[in-house]
């Protein structure tokens, strides 16, 4: 049961990593061509995708190593830091993308 939950979580994080990779492809191969701003955003998108995959694998390991508390309930640490970190990074990259697309740098 725990292995399946961990695997589902890891797969969900991996699916989430596809978004930044798709955004990177669209930025790099836009009709204008690659510029320095676009290349930097592509690098940030690829780095974010790798970090998201790493978060998913780390989360899977945490789920597989669950603990039992004093009342006998199974506890797993929450993934709040990973979720907030990925969301903040994705928001910053999205804002950078909007600036690059709006001003054409």
Given pLDDT bands bounded at 50, 70 and 90, which one contains residue 59?
confident
* pLDDT confidence tier of residue 1, bands split at 50, 70 and 90: low
Structure tokens at 61: 């390991």
Q: For residues 101 and 12, give the distance between their C-alpha atoms in angstroms, rounded to a whole number.
A: 29
Report the alpha-carbon angle 83-27-56, nearest 5.
25
- Model confidence band, residue 68 (pLDDT cutoffs 50, 70, 90): confident
pTM (predicted TM-score): 0.75
Q: What is the pLDDT of residue 89?
A: 87
pLDDT (0 to 100) of residue 77? 72
Q: Is the pLDDT of residue 53 over 80?
A: yes
Q: Residue 54, CB half-sphere, CA atoms under 13 Å: how many?
A: 8
d(CA 78, CA 43): 29
Q: Provide the mean pLDDT of the chain.
A: 80
Q: Which residue has the higher pLDDT, 49 or 34?
A: 49
Q: Return d(Cα 105, Cα 89) in angstroms, integer.
A: 21
Q: What tens digit of pLDDT does each residue of 34-46 get? A: 678 888 888 988 9
């Amino acid at each position: 049961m725990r292995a399946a939950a961990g695997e589902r979580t890891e797969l969900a994080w991996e699916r989430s990593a596809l978004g930044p990779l798709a955004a990177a492809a669209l930025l790099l191969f836009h009709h204008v061509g690659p510029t320095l701003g676009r290349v930097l955003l592509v690098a940030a998108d690829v780095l974010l995708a790798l970090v998201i995959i790493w978060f998913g694998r780390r989360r899977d390991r945490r789920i597989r190593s669950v603990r039992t508390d004093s009342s006998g309930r199974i506890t797993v640490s929450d993934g709040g830091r990973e979720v907030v970190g990925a969301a903040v990074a994705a928001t910053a990259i999205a804002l950078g993308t909007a600036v690059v697309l709006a001003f054409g740098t």
